Chains A and B, each alone.
Chain A
Amino acid sequence: NFMLTQPHSVSESPGKTVTISCTRSSGSIASTYVQWYQQRPGSSPTTVIYNSNHRPSGVPDRFSASIDSSSNSASLTISGLKTDDEADYYCQSYDGTNRVFGGGTKLTVL
């Protein structure tokens, strides 16, 4: 079993770029796909990244993701921040047949 650890919160100004990390506690981060979900207040989650670095249609290319094997972590990068990006972001991966979520990161755009 492994855990995914995210920073509790990050903040940045509109127009800037922010990166949210997701560190896997054991096993290789590259061994299974990582997904990223956005959850705005009062709404259900939506997928912004799947298969580690793919964007669903409708998600702007300001959202990108990568894997860093040296730090055993995945990262979600949002460029050109908009106030509408303010939300909670969760990473998720697979541990065999189990699904694992990170604890979530609250992004504040101010």
Chain B
Amino acid sequence: EVQLLESGGGLVQPGGSLRLSCAASGFTFTNYAMTWVRQAPGKGLEWVSAIDLSGGYTFYADSAKDRFIISRDNSKNTLYLQMNSLRAEDTAVYYCAKDRGGDDYAWSWGQGTLVTVSS
């Protein structure tokens, strides 16, 4: 069974930084791209960033470019999201997701971690 366990969320002041982690199990981590998706309170899903199988290629939504850094440690089956220069509008639940692998586009989702940016 696929399990994705996010951690690292919390309350941070505007301009601050936070690092999210996502521990993956139940599948071959190195066979899948991984993604971060966020959901602001009462709003829809917004894709944030994705990373390829090896970690050599990273992709960002415009809202995350130049502020967020996605990475993965395949030896630890763990995905990360380093978030810098945080703004109030970054307040959201952040979900880690197993993205596509080969022709398998069946995403799996974690339970999410709440990030609140407020003074």
A binds B: yes
Residues of A within 8 A of B (CB): 33, 35, 37, 39, 44-47, 50-51, 54, 56, 88, 90, 92, 97-104
Given contacts A45-B95, A98-B59, whether A104 and B45 have CB atoms under 8 Å apart is yes
Please give me the residue from chain B that is nearest to A104 by CB atom: B44
Chain B 28-61, CB-CB to A under 8 Å as 1, else 0, gives 0000000101000000111100100000010101
Query: When the two chains form the complex, which single residue of A51, A90, A99 contacts B106, counting CB atoms closer than 8 Å?
Result: A51
Asked if residues B59 and A101 are in contact (CB atoms below 8 Å), the reply is: no
Asked if residues B107 and A101 are in contact (CB atoms below 8 Å), the reply is: no
Residues of B within 8 A of A (CB): 35, 37, 44-47, 50, 57, 59, 61, 95, 99, 103-112
The SS class assigned to the A binding surface is strand
B56 to chain A, nearest CB (A): 13
Query: When the two chains form the complex, which single residue of A35, A102, A103 contacts B107, counting CB atoms closer than 8 Å?
Result: A35
B109 to chain A, nearest CB (A): 5
Given contacts A44-B95, A99-B50, whether A50 and B106 have CB atoms under 8 Å apart is yes
- CB-defined contacts of A92 to chain B, threshold 8 Å: 45, 107
- CB-defined contacts of B95 to chain A, threshold 8 Å: 44-45
Asked if residues B59 and A97 are in contact (CB atoms below 8 Å), the reply is: yes
Query: When the two chains form the complex, which single residue of B47, B103, B106, B112 contacts A98, counting CB atoms closer than 8 Å?
Result: B47
B31 to chain A, nearest CB (A): 16
Query: When the two chains form the complex, which single residue of B50, B103, B111 contacts A44, counting CB atoms closer than 8 Å?
Result: B111
Asked if residues B45 and A45 are in contact (CB atoms below 8 Å), the reply is: yes
- CB-defined contacts of A35 to chain B, threshold 8 Å: 105-107
- CB-defined contacts of A51 to chain B, threshold 8 Å: 103-106
Given contacts A47-B106, A98-B61, whether A103 and B35 have CB atoms under 8 Å apart is no
- CB-defined contacts of B111 to chain A, threshold 8 Å: 44
